[in-house]
Structure 1
Amino acid sequence: MILFRYLTREVLLTMSAVAGVLLLVVMGGRFIRYFGKAAEGDFPVTVLGNLMLYHLPGFMELVLPLAFFLGILLAYGQLYMNSEITVMVACGVSPAKLLQITLLPSLLVALLVGACSIWLTPWGSMLNEEVIQEQRSRLDASILAPGRFQNFGQGRTAYISGFSRDGQQMENVFVHQLGGRGEEVPNYVTRAEQGHQERRDKTGSRFLVLESGDRFGVTPGEHQAEHLAFERYTIRLGVSDDRRELDAAEFQSTASLWQSGEPEAMAQWQWRMGVPLMVFVLGLIAQPLSRVNPRQGRFAKLLPAVFLYVAYLSLLLAAVDAVGNATLPVAIGVWPVHGGFLALGLGLLWRSQRKGMR
């Protein structure tokens, strides 16, 4: 029991450190991407926290298997460097016992990865897409950046010079709206000194209320223009047609994917069920790869191990795409990839045990 706690603690602590670094890199890249879109006016900065939180299960689903793989390599490599495993073998710890100790923490990691891939990642992806579509479908004063021309769908482009001190009123508002493709449909340009947004609770409709301004309508090909001076003018804000389908396979629950039976749905189902299995396969591969000579250093096999993981993940994604495109039968699916790397791990274990753990 003492040996189990010691080895498990070493593996999990190393895995946590690696996972923290990888998660910081991945989330940092996605945060920069979202921050750029927020600067362009696609959605307000206030929703960035929610978007990153909804993406967290998907990040954990990809980061944890790699972190566990590297955690075993680094932790056991250090034990080989310090000759601790040599002492364990001399005290009667067999390779089978060491493998048993390795697979027990892999069960904990596989359960966590399975919870992310089967339940949390689809739920978070759905919430993330709903937030993005909601922000894109409405013209909200909170996403307007002063000094920028921003497109809000339906041929509308808005510009404001700034906000009032209380942040409720927009100043120097400019709105351009394309009339349509026909030559007889006018294009409208509206300018107002101030503006704000109103919402009708009964209907849920949103309106942009402009005050003290002018509205011009120009028809292409004509030399005349319509002019309207107003004290108060209301523009109804419609819903953008540029919406992503929320019934895609990546947003559906795992049970609905199984009931669907479509190739794309089954490909997504096999991916979700195969990610926890990948944790066990990587654990089998990592243990024999972690055996290093003290003169080599514990990083000697780190680069080949990373290439092996990249090959595993690339083949798995290629198989998922092939199943989704119906070029690979669903009955075969992604399981040959898992089976091939499982055979590789068992072969490495057999070779390591045959040579002995010196």
Structure 2
Amino acid sequence: MILFRYLTREVLLTMAAVTGILLLVIMGSRFIRYFTNAAEGDIPVAILGNLMLFHLPGFLELVLPLAFFLGVLLAYGQLYMNSEITVMVACGISPSRLLRVTLLPAAVVAFMVGLCSLWLTPAGALQNAVTLEEQRSRLDISVLAPGRFQDFGGGRTAYIADFNSDRTRMENVLVHEQGGEDELESTYVTRASIGYQDISPDTGSRFLVLEEGARYGVAPGRQEAERLTFDRYTMRLGLSAERRELDSLEYATTMALWNDPNPRAQAQWQWRVGLPFMVFILALLAQPLSRVNPRQGRFAKLLPAVFLYVAYLSLLLAAVDAVGSGNLAVGIGVWPVHVLFLIIGLLLLWHSQRKGMR
């Protein structure tokens, strides 16, 4: 029991450090992308935290298997360097028992990966898509930047010259709309000296109120145009008539993918289900690869191990793409890739045991 706690602590602490570093790199890159969109006025800064939070399960399902793989390599490599494995073998700890000890934290990590891949990741991706789609379908003057044309859904593009001192009113507003209430082919351009946002206290609907301006409409193939001058013009900021489809397989539940005979759905299902199994196979690969000579250093086999992981993930993604495109039968699926690396892990383990654990 003491040995189990010691080995598990070493592996999980190393894995946690690697996970933190990988998440910092991946989430930092995504945050910079979202922050750039916020700086350009495409999304408000207030939703950046929610977007990153709902992306976290998708990052974890990819980071955790690699972090656990590297955690076993580095932790056991340090044990070899300190000759602690030699002491364990002298005390009667066999390689098979060491493998059983390794598979116990692997089960915890596999459960976390399965929780993310089967449930949290599609739910988070759907929530992010809904949030971004709602943002595209409405105009919030807080995200507008003076002197720029900005799309806000529904075929509309807005331009403002400047704000007043408290940023509640817009000056010299121009709104371009593709499509109209009567003729979808029409193009409308509305200009106004003043514009501001108003919210109905009864329904909560939001409106863009324009004052002292004119509205022009023209349709392709027509020899005439419309012109309407107004003192006050109200434009409802509702959802776009052409919303982006949110029924992508990326957002579908795992049970829905299981019941869908479409090859793309089956490929996505096999990808999600295969990730927890991948953790156990990586644990099987990591134990023999962590065996190093104290003179070599614990990083001696790190580069070959990373190449092996990259090959595993690349073949798995290629198999998912082949199943989704119909080039590989659904019945075969991605499982040959898992079986191949399972066999490689067993051969490495057998070779390591045959040479002995010095």
What TM-score results when the alignment is normalised by the length of structure 1? 0.91
Q: Hey, what's the Cα distance between the residues in 2 that align with 1:104 and 1:187?
A: 64
Could you report, residue by residue, the CA deviation over 1:219-238 in whole angstroms, capped at 9, with x for unpaired residues? 88999976654321122345
Partner of 1:132 in structure 2?
A: 132
Q: Tell me the alpha carbon deviations over residues 49-104 of structure 1, each in whole angstroms, 9 at most, x when there is no partner.
A: 11111110000000000000000011111111111111111111111111111111
- Find the aligned partners of 2:61 and 2:274 in 1 and give their Cα distance: 11
- Percent of pairs with identical residues: 71
Partner in structure 1 of residue 70 of structure 2: 70
Equivalent in the alignment of 1:258: 258
Give the paired residue count.
354
Alignment-derived partner of residue 50 in structure 2: 50
Query: What are the within-5 Å matches in structure 2 for residues 112-123 of structure 1?
Result: 112-123=112-123
The equivalent residue for 2:244 is 244
Q: Counterparts of 1:14-25 in structure 2 under 5 Å?
A: 14-25=14-25
Give the Å deviation of 1:207. 2.6
- Check conservation: 1:288, 1:349, Cα contact below 8 A: yes
User: Does the C-alpha gap of structure 1 residues 74 and 236 become closer, same or farther in structure 2, counting only changes over 3 Å?
Assistant: same
Partner of 1:272: 272
Q: 1:196 Cα deviation (Å)?
A: 1.6
Deviations 1:19-74 (A, max 9, x none): 00001111111111222222333221211111111110000000000000000011
Deviates more, 1:26-35 or 1:118-127: 26-35
Superposed displacement of residue 161, structure 1: 3.2
8 A contact 1:160–1:170 mirrored in 2: yes
Shifted more, 315-324 versus 65-74: the winner is 315-324
What SS is found at the alignment partner of 2:172?
A: strand
Partner of 1:31: 31
Secondary structure of 1:138's match?
A: coil
Give the structure 1 partner of residue 2 of structure 2: 2
- The equivalent residue for 2:296 is 296
Q: Which letter maps to 1:31? A: F
Task: Write the letter of the residue equivalent to 1:84.
Answer: E
Corresponding residue SS for 1:212: strand
Give the deviation of 1:179 after TM superposition.
Answer: 6.2
State the match for 1:156 in structure 2: 156
**Cα distance in 1 between the residues matched to 2:110 and 2:222:** 69
Residues 217 and 264 from structure 1, CA distance in 2 versus in 1: closer, same or farther, beyond 3 angstroms?
Answer: closer
For the aligned residues, what is the CA RMSD?
2.4
Give the match for residue 84 of structure 1.
84
- 8 Å Cα contact 1:152-1:240 kept in structure 2: no
**Rounded Cα–Cα distance in structure 2 between residues aligned with 1:247 and 1:178:** 25
Q: Distance in 2 between matches of 1:76 and 1:222?
A: 77
- 2:349 corresponds to: 349
Output the amino acid matched with 2:66: L
For residue 195 of structure 1, give the secondary structure of its aligned residue in structure 2: strand
User: Residue type matched to 2:292 in 1?
Assistant: V
Deviates further, 335-344 or 133-142: 133-142
Q: Distance in 2 between matches of 1:255 and 1:103?
A: 28
Structure 1 unaligned spans of 5+: none
Amino acid at match of 1:160: I
Shift in Å at residue 289 of structure 1?
Answer: 0.2
Question: Which segment drifts farther, 341-350 or 81-90?
Answer: 81-90
